[in-house]
Amino acid sequence: MEVNNGASQTVLDTDNNNVLTAQGQLKTAQDNLAATILTAPANATVASINGKVGQSAGASGGSTSSSTTPFIVLIDTSASDINALVNEADIGNVHVGQPAQFTVEAYPSQTFRASVTSVDLIGQTSGNVVVYPVHLRVDQHSLNGTYLYPGMTATTTITTAERIGALLVSNAALSFPNTAVQAGAISRSTLFSAFSGSSTARGTQSNSNQRIVLELKNGKLVPVVITTGLTNGTNTEVLSGLQPGDQVVVRATGGSFSNLSGNQTSPGGNFTRPGIRSFGGGG
């Protein structure tokens, strides 16, 4: 009579191996199941899905797989950036931290805020002009619920210098003396004499900062030499030569001179330079 003392060691080893194999298969199945759930690494908005049901992640149409094609593209709309191109003539005035304003064609009546976060050191050529990429972060509070789509074109103005309480004169007043000369209202020699006889013009100030404006006194045009500072393209800072409330001529209408637009102290004259244009979603 033969007594069965249990399974042989060989059988036990085989069964143990089968258990380990099954456990490995279970783990693989669990991992595959978990891989069917895609979790975003951060809060974001789905911008595009490059695939269909049944395709492997990374597939680029049909059954062809492409590891360079993202299956799902996410965009963080809570932090948007502007990628601007600034002319080489202006880039020396642009620095990190400077405030900026921008508009987009979709909302032409609204102006939004941003600030410079970085300036690239390597330029690029655009239309035979060297430009430098400048990156700005959009102030989300300035959007007031407005949604900016990635890829929108933005017209950006960067404030590179600022004066608080500056004395401002209209740029029209700076160009008017030439108009008056052409109209025969004042001679060019009179302007030249005023400029050459000015103590400001003979001083240490650069002549490039010296301009002439015309005051209307007792019905006559009186040239005044002023020293100018910053400009924003519309108004120019006056460093000397005028006082708050002085009236300067900006135009002639109906054969008579108008001095209705006076030079006044302003709560701030901003000198701004434009950045060129490209709106992008931030990451």
Condensed to tens digits (0 to 9), the pLDDT of residues 31-84 reads 988 877 878 888 888 888 888 877 766 544 444 445 577 888 888 877 889 999
In a domain, 197, yes or no: yes
pLDDT at 37: 81
Q: Do 172 and 230 reside in the same domain of the chain?
A: yes
In a domain, 29, yes or no: no
pLDDT at 264: 44
Q: Do 158 and 214 reside in the same domain of the chain?
A: no
Q: Is 112 helix (H, G, I), strand (E, B) or coil?
A: strand
Question: 217-253 in b/e burial notation, b at 16+ Cβ within 10 A?
Answer: eeeebebbbbbbbbbbeebbbbbbbbeeebbbbbeee
In a domain, 234, yes or no: yes
- CA separation for the pair 200, 205 (Å, rounded): 7
In a domain, 15, yes or no: no
Condensed to tens digits (0 to 9), the pLDDT of residues 101-139 reads 999 999 999 999 999 999 999 999 978 899 999 999 999
Containing 149, the helix (H) or strand (E) segment is: none
pLDDT at 196: 79
In a domain, 57, yes or no: no
Share in percent of the chain as helix, strand, coil (round to 5): 20, 35, 40
Q: Do 176 and 228 reside in the same domain of the chain?
A: yes
CATH of residue 222? 2.40.420
Question: 131-158 in b/e burial notation, b at 16+ Cβ within 10 A?
Answer: bbbbbbbbeeeeeeeeebeeebebbbbb
End-to-end CA distance of the chain, in Å? 80
Condensed to tens digits (0 to 9), the pLDDT of residues 178-189 reads 988 888 888 888
What is the extent of the structural domain holding 97? Answer: 81-164+273-280
Q: Do 180 and 210 reside in the same domain of the chain?
A: yes
State phi, psi for 81 to the nearest 5 degrees. Answer: -120, 155
In a domain, 21, yes or no: no
CA atoms within 13 A on the CB side of 193: 6
Average pLDDT rounded to a whole number, residues 200-220: 72
- CA separation for the pair 248, 169 (Å, rounded): 8
Domain tally for the chain? Answer: 2
- CA separation for the pair 249, 34 (Å, rounded): 77
Q: Do 174 and 256 reside in the same domain of the chain?
A: yes
Average pLDDT value over all residues in the chain: 80
